[in-house]
Amino acid sequence: MKNVPTKARAYQAAVSALGIALWAWAVVRLHFDQPQVAQLILLTLVPVIVFAGLFTQHFRIPLGLNLTHERLTFSLSDAIVLLVAYWYGVHPAIFVAGLEGFITSRRTVRRWSSNLFSTGMMSLVAASSGLIIKFAVTLGATNGELPLHLAAVVFFAASVTHNLVNVVLLSTLLSMRHAKPILASWKESFLWTVPMLCLPTSAAAILMHHALEHGVLTLVAIAVPTLLAINVSQRQNRRGVEQRVSAIEKAHRETVEALAVAINAKDQVTHEHVLRVQIYAAGVARLLGCSDAEIEALRAGALLHDIGKIAVPDYILNKPGKLTAAEFEKMKVHTLVGAQILGRVDFPFPVVPVVRHHHERWDGRGYPDGLKGEGIPLTARILSVVDCFDAVREDRQYRRGLTREEAIELIMEGSGTQYDPRVVGTFVTHLPEFEAEIQAHKGAPVPTYGIEPAEQLSEAAAAVAPAAGLAEEAQPASAKLSERELDALGALARKLEAARPDETRVVETFVAALAALVPYDTCAVALADGDEYTIKHAAGTHAALLKGRRVEQNNGVTGWVLANQQPFCNVNPQLDFAPDAAPRFAGLRTLAAFPVTRGDARHGALTVYSAALSEYGAERQRLLAAAAALLATALSPAERAEAEIAVSHPSLHDSDSPAVIRADKLQAPIESELTH
């Protein structure tokens, strides 16, 4: 009961107390007013109730797309309750129904809270249907008896009332537990219980009533086959309903899995990360008293909260450094897109608020809605803490992972500003327990359960900046090359032409000559090797550690440049090295990486690293872009390098020169957008 919402617990306690009090009052009245009836019930009807209970069917109750774990019990003992109300009155019916409710519940689940609720609920149900019968008999009976056709109508009306009150009382409890609309649950449950429960109950009651008029043997002869037939029919109906709902659940699971695949295709999220976040989130949610539905929402949210990133360009997702303001605006929209996508799936738990609000902040400076404090859904507050804790511990293309202690310190620093202090405190306090649970689940499968947003970011969300700050906006390098730069590039072009067509000689010549253009401590040239890229040549400090290494696209700065065919400059060089090599390059301060391309040909990437420079400025970036363009031309087949790339400069108009250089050809790659 500790995980049940407070309202649901209060409601369950109230129904149990009221119903049990009614049952006790019925027992007292029966003892003093109808002692013979009480004796008859105890000696005769109780064994019959136990026998009828053997024909009990348990229907799992559907809420939304899923079947709940709670069950609605159909027992032919309900028909006996109606008969007792007709023969002996309301008090005996309440006594029988309360007793039957306890016996049936105890047979199904041995939990006193459920058993007492079932007793109280069935007592209230019997009182309602018993009053219908009493009212009808009072109005239309002759000598205490109704004609058979009227009795049939009365039993049907009483059966409908019986099941209506049952559905209302039980569905209200389940709606409170699962955070579902109460009226919708009433309607949904009642519509499928009328044909499945009301008609068999009333039919069994009228048949047994009619048979008893011809003696006990006739009653047995009619009742037993009737009970068997109804039981078999109900069993088939139950299987049919559960099969249909199971098919819907299967489709729902496959939808979740498809969405998860879409996420993994865009954002490199590991299954281990998802499993850990699910365990962290569910553990914190239980400790904070979240409902089962909210816990399920968190499990799904751990998997699906970034589904909106399918609308974010790859180059932004994989950018190995700070985002510009424009890029961050595109990134923030993923919360709205994700909520829109999942809002079209009828989840049986509230996952959409988790997805929409997992980037809100406790101080109100988050996005997309700028919610603050308790105004942020608790599930979203929980996910933001546990997802951040685990995510920062993993290596990403734009940063190295933190240690456990560093990650704890990070979320503690954000407590009260970015994160809910109560969530942070609960998580850190119980972290060893969660880690033990994760260790126990090692190897277990992860549980799985152009798009434009329909709405725009709020003004508050538009003003939000990432915690790491924003990068400078990329500006086109429109400045023309100086005469000194043109002279240097012309000399480089002639050297490269002389080295052609030997690729190795071209690259070695280029790297040696580049040092006169742009200073570097280490230089690496990654070239295509089939479908992969390999550092074919490296020069400078610890160059031997780099030469021959494979460069994966979107892994590190050079990998990002290869994947996106855009230059990237002035970021922490440690992001570009494998863990085993990174310590040897600890003294480097900045880098610049440029794609080596000509037309549709993607030859590779040029990356230079510096320990002396704090950044590669605009002038050096222009030179590197031009140099990379010259290298691409030298690596291209001779027939594709028509007229060669030349620089329009008086000192280079030498007809004997192997390179007649045109300024428009050389300037074009320099006019491209450069990243600062």
- Structural domain boundaries in the chain: 6-247, 267-462, 483-670
Instruction: Point out the least confidently predicted range of 7-11, 85-89, 373-377, 397-401.
Output: 397-401
| Fold classification of 6-247 (topology level) | Arp2/3 complex 21 kDa subunit ARPC3 (1.10.1760)
Calpha distance 352→607 (Å, rounded): 43
Residue 477 banded pLDDT, cuts 50, 70, 90: very low
Residue 53 banded pLDDT, cuts 50, 70, 90: low
Q: Quick check: 615 pLDDT over 70? A: yes
Q: Mean pLDDT throughout 104-116?
A: 79
Instruction: Provide the residue type at 156 as one letter.
Output: F
452 vs 116, higher pLDDT: 116
pLDDT at residue 479, rounded to an integer = 54
DSSP-based helix, strand, coil % in the chain, nearest 5: 60, 10, 30
Q: 483-670 maps to which CATH number?
A: 3.30.450.40
Among 127-131, 159-163, 211-215, 484-488, top mean pLDDT goes to 127-131
Q: Quick check: 597 pLDDT over 80? A: yes
21 vs 578, higher pLDDT: 21
What percent of the chain is predicted at pLDDT more than 90? 23
Nearest to 99 by CA among 119, 113, 79: 119
Tokens of 609: 């690293």
Residue 442 banded pLDDT, cuts 50, 70, 90: low
Q: Does domain 267-462 sit in CATH 1.10.3210.10?
A: yes
pLDDT at residue 393, rounded to an integer = 86
Q: Quick check: 66 pLDDT over 50? A: no
Among 247-251, 429-433, 450-454, top mean pLDDT goes to 429-433
pLDDT at residue 660, rounded to an integer = 33
pLDDT at residue 316, rounded to an integer = 78
Tokens of 453: 């947003």
Residue 505 banded pLDDT, cuts 50, 70, 90: very high
What percent of the chain is predicted at pLDDT more than 70? 68
Residue 537, CB-side half-sphere exposure with 13 Å CA sphere: 15
Instruction: Point out the least confidently predicted range of 18-27, 293-302, 357-366, 394-403.
Output: 394-403
* C-alpha angle 663-641-616 in degrees, rounded to nearest 5: 55
Q: Write down the residue that tokens 């998580």 correspond to.
A: 427
pLDDT at residue 259, rounded to an integer = 63
DSSP three-state, residue 186: helix
pLDDT at residue 600, rounded to an integer = 81
Residue 603 phi/psi, 5-degree rounding, is -80, -35
Nearest to 161 by CA among 196, 202, 192: 202
pLDDT at residue 137, rounded to an integer = 81
Q: Quick check: 16 pLDDT over 90? A: yes
pLDDT at residue 20, rounded to an integer = 94
Among 227-231, 353-357, 449-453, top mean pLDDT goes to 353-357
Q: What is the pLDDT of residues 216-265, one digit of tens each?
A: 666 566 666 766 666 666 566 666 666 766 666 666 666 666 666 666 55
Calpha distance 436→83 (Å, rounded): 57
Q: Quick check: 304 pLDDT over 90? A: no
Residue 142 banded pLDDT, cuts 50, 70, 90: low
Calpha distance 91→130 (Å, rounded): 8
Instruction: Point out the least confidently predicted range of 151-165, 193-207, 314-328, 489-503.
Output: 193-207
* Mean model confidence pLDDT for the chain: 76
Q: Quick check: 609 pLDDT over 80? A: yes
Q: Quick check: 590 pLDDT over 70? A: yes
* Contact yes or no for 96/84 (Cβ under 8 A): yes
The rounded radius of gyration (Å) of the Cα atoms in the chain is: 38
Residue 189: CB partners within 8 Å, gap ≥ 6? Answer: 61, 72, 167, 170, 171
Model-level pTM greater than 0.85?
Answer: no
pLDDT at residue 253, rounded to an integer = 62
pLDDT at residue 650, rounded to an integer = 37
In sign, the C-alpha dihedral spanning 129, 160, 147, 215 is: negative
pLDDT at residue 676, rounded to an integer = 31
Q: Quick check: 647 pLDDT over 50? A: no
DSSP three-state, residue 81: helix
pLDDT at residue 450, rounded to an integer = 38
Q: Is the peptide bond before 466 cis (omega within 30 degrees of 0)?
A: no
Q: Mean pLDDT throughout 301-326?
A: 78
